[in-house]
Amino acid sequence: MARGEISLDKTTLPSVIFLEFLYKDNNAIQKLNDKIKTYISDSDYPEIISIIEGEFENIRKEIEDSFRKDRAICCRNINYYFDLLNATIKSANVFPRDIQDNIIAKVEQQWKQVLNVKNVDECTKEIDLYSLRKRCILKHLHDLKLDKNFIILNPNDYERFLKEKWEKLLGYTNPELGDLYVKIENHFVGIIEQYSNFLYSYDYICDFDLDKLSPDDITISPDIYTLINNISLDKISSNNNNKACYNANYIEMLKIKTSSIQRMNNLLSIGIALLGFFLMLIFLYRFTPLRYLLRKCTKKIIEEDENVQVMSELHDNVENERHYVSYDSLSH
């Protein structure tokens, strides 16, 4: 621990409300991981279910004791816990498909029962990976803002806490090959970052109202250039908002895009100017005396060329005659 830092008690973090049980010894995730390591046959399946069901009372008690109409954070944190359960089960690769499906069904049943403790019925949870990644990203931004003062006092311990918090979910949601990149963008925020780096970092403490941020403001792609090309200049706030949240990557990519657009605009301006010039010439040629002047000048040039050609031919003839006369005189 660095000098001046205060030991971090994870159960006191504002972001872990409703989840204190998860940061105590012998919690459900630890017991589940231990059981998975020793899983031999389907006969162990009831014990897995028992672990999941056994944690319900702890969750119910925390919600009863801590709930103060803060439905949004309750939804985020309960979803995090059950996403963590799903990731632990699905990434284990030890269960037959039917057993895994039964365990996941039990997890979903527990999720609904937990939300019914305080009738948090507006809470939804899509099960696809893309939606799960977005939930992780939104929770991370909200949690950093809630834990801001703790991060300032103890950044090193908090960084270790983030590793513990996201390692299992990142292992489940990251592709086996290649990287994923995240773009978060609306009128208050502009962030482009590698997915794992984002969740492992405490740098993204944004002071604007995060309730204005929605899953639709988040794009995830394995191709960072796709994200760069889709940066929306319309979403950059024209107001001098001190609470706007932009990271260095986003600002750099924004400069590249605006520079590219400026070059294209310059080329377009040159093209339009040239087109206008040629259209003006066509207009002058067809609807002004310029047409007749050009014809007259052209005719005059042609006549002069013809005269020059005639004079040249006459000159050649004269030269030929002189040569002939000279030759004839010598022969006599």
Average pLDDT over residues 200-208: 92
Please tell me whether residues 19 and 161 are part of one structural domain. yes
| Residue 304, pLDDT score | 56
Strand order across the beta sheet in which 245-246 lies = 218-221, 181-185, 189-194, 245-246
pLDDT at 314 over 70: no
Assigned token pair, 332: 């006599």
pLDDT in tens, 95-122: 888 888 988 998 888 888 887 877 766 6
pLDDT of residue 331: 47
Report how many domains make up the chain. Answer: 3
Same domain for 95 and 223, yes or no, is no
Among the three residues 116, 137, 172, which one is the final residue of a domain in this structure? 172
Using DSSP's 3-state secondary structure scheme, residue 128 falls into coil
More confident: 152 or 271: 152
**Residues 28-70: pLDDT tens digits?**
888 888 888 888 777 778 888 888 888 888 888 888 887 777 7
Average pLDDT over residues 166-177: 92
Name the domain boundary from 172, 207, 235.
172
Domain shared by 21 and 159, yes or no: yes
Read off the pLDDT of each residue in 287-293 and give the average, rounded to a whole number.
Answer: 63
Q: Lowest mean pLDDT of 5-14, 58-67, 158-167, 303-312, name the range.
A: 303-312
Q: Are residues 102 and 141 in the same domain?
A: yes
Those residues whose C-beta lies under 8 Å from the C-beta of residue 17, and which sit 6 or more positions away, are 62, 66, 70, 73, 74, 77
Minimum mean pLDDT among 62-76, 185-199, 211-225, 314-328: which range? 314-328
Whether 149 and 179 map to the same domain: the answer is no
Lowest mean pLDDT among 184-193, 195-204, 230-239: 230-239
Domain boundary among 229, 262, 295: 262
In the numeric block, the tokens 């305080």 are attached to: 118
List, in order, residues 6 or more apart from 31 with CB less than 8 Å away: 51
> Could you tell me if 270 and 166 lie in one domain?
no
Same domain, 239 and 296: no
Residues 242 and 297 reside in one and the same domain: no
pTM: 0.75
Residues 273 and 307 reside in one and the same domain:
yes
Q: Are residues 147 and 8 part of one domain?
A: yes
Q: Are residues 165 and 196 in the same domain?
A: no
Residue 208 has pLDDT above 80, yes or no: yes
Rounded alpha-carbon distances, angstroms, from residue 11 to 21, 76, 181, 307, 313? 8, 17, 31, 106, 110
Instruction: Provide the domain limits for residue 69.
Output: 1-172
pLDDT(128) > 70? yes
Position 240 pLDDT exceeds 70 = no
**Residue that has been written with the tokens 């000279």 in this structure:** 326
Residue 129 has pLDDT above 70, yes or no: yes
| Residue 20 and residue 146 in one domain | yes
The answer on pLDDT for 205 being more than 50 is yes
| Per-residue pLDDT at 330 | 44
Specify the pLDDT at position 14. Answer: 94
